[in-house]
Amino acid sequence: MASSNAQIAIIRIFRRGNISYVFGLGVIFMVIYLCQYSPDSTDSSDSAVPSPLTDVFENESKSVFKYHIRELSEPRCQANLSMSDTKDFSSLPNAIQDFLHYRHCRSFPMLLDLPAKCGGANRSREVFLLLVIKSSPLNYDRREVLRKTWAKERLQNGVWIRRLFIIGTEGSGHRKLKINKLLKAEQDDFNDILQWDFNDTFHNLTLKQTLFLQWLDRRCPNARFLFNGDDDVFAHTDNMVTYLQGLDDNDGSKHLFTGYLFQNEKVVRWKGSKYFVPELIQESKTYEPYCGGGGYLLSGYTASVINRVSQAIPIHPIDDAFMGICLSKAGLSPSSHIGVRTLGLNMPSKGADHSEPCYLRELLLVHRFLPADMYLMWKQVHDPHLKCSPTYKLR
């Protein structure tokens, strides 16, 4: 009926000889057509790399808008103000008070999503190593360097490396909106950001991890292995692929969680430390074994297990310790890898240069470096003319 009425209206316009109206209608219909059928721009910094996953990316990406509407319609989690009545609550640092008020919140609206990052859930097994990099909203310079160096999406030794930055929000009001617009522009260029609407702080790193694991279960459940780390580490991802491909009888379907291992670490009770954890959060005096949060490797199987058990464990303000708690609950153990140096390099002499490529070429990870240093080190490590003497040995 609506279509017939529209046709009658057009005929009347023709009869009146109002050609300008007809021309205007034509322009309007053309604009509507272009808006509905023009393809989205999804080019990334690595678009020159041909991917076996790209044929499904375009169809998957069309679901992003609907997904955002569903997520943003969720009610906001409210603060648990009854925590303020807890004994000695007022004596706790403000950051811990804020953490406790919102500790129960496990679901936040997703602002930036990548449904097709792994080619869809059914094809996600083609992703051999998924780089999951914890980044803060304002760390654009770090992300830009990583995209050009160790986090570049590529085929390595015949397998695919993919990249994600996981991010919260910064500030409030106009400042928050402006930074979110900048992240959206960055997303349009690179297609590598997952963002949720929670305050991106140190004590919310665990929340960031749990939200990512939920995303992984939906969007990329069959990725073989994951690297999880900070945006200020030097990660030798070439060596990571070589190490993972050399694992005995493990294609990602068995347990793996390895990095710089901490055992029998005492819980910090000094309120002046950012690592302070009161007995209200953890009564025991020592942590379960865990790998330093600067960077570690895990299998897709282990990521799935952690996601499952984490849902029944209260959020902890120290994210790497929380991972250790989850592993313990699941009856799994983290392991130590000599090539992961979360606490930096133990140099053979005081005058030795920490950024010397001959020290770095055999490692998996070193924490931490500035973006400019990272860029130079990556270039030097991959210099085909690099020659290292046997004296370049780390302790």
CATH of domain 71-339: 3.90.550
Q: What is the pLDDT of residues 288-343, one digit of tens each?
A: 999 999 999 999 999 999 999 999 999 999 999 999 999 999 999 999 999 999 99
pLDDT at residue 131 tops 90: yes
Strand 127-134 with 225-230, pairing: parallel
CB contact at 8 A, 259 and 227: no
Strand 159-169 with 127-134, pairing: parallel
Q: What is the pLDDT of residues 51-105, one digit of tens each?
A: 445 443 344 444 443 334 334 446 788 999 999 999 999 999 999 999 999 999 9
- Read off the pLDDT band of 31 (50, 70, 90): very low
Angle between helix 319-329 and helix 205-219 axes, rounded to 10 deg: 50
State both tokens at 125: 């097994």
Higher-confidence position of 369 and 227:
227
Strand 159-169 with 154-156, pairing: antiparallel
CA distances from 295 to 177, 187, 226, 229, 315 (A): 30, 24, 10, 4, 20
Q: What is the pLDDT of residues 153-185, one digit of tens each?
A: 999 999 999 999 999 999 999 999 999 999 999
Percentage of the chain beyond pLDDT 90 is 73
Distance CA 234, CA 294 (A): 10
Residue 154: which H helix or E strand, with range?
strand 154-156
**pLDDT at residue 354 in the model:** 63
Please report, to the nearest 10 degrees, the dihedral formed by the alpha carbons of residues 280, 286, 289, 290 taken in order.
Answer: 50
**pLDDT at residue 20 in the model:** 46
State both tokens at 356: 């010397």
| Domain spans, the chain | 71-339
Distance CA 301, CA 279 (A): 32
- Whether omega for the bond prior to residue 16 falls within 30 degrees of 0, making it cis, is no
CB contact at 8 A, 184 and 195: no
Q: What is the pLDDT of residues 257-293, one digit of tens each?
A: 999 999 999 999 999 999 999 999 999 999 999 999 9
Instruction: Report H helices in 169-291.
Output: 173-190, 205-219, 237-245
**pLDDT at residue 344 in the model:** 82
3-state secondary structure of 36: helix
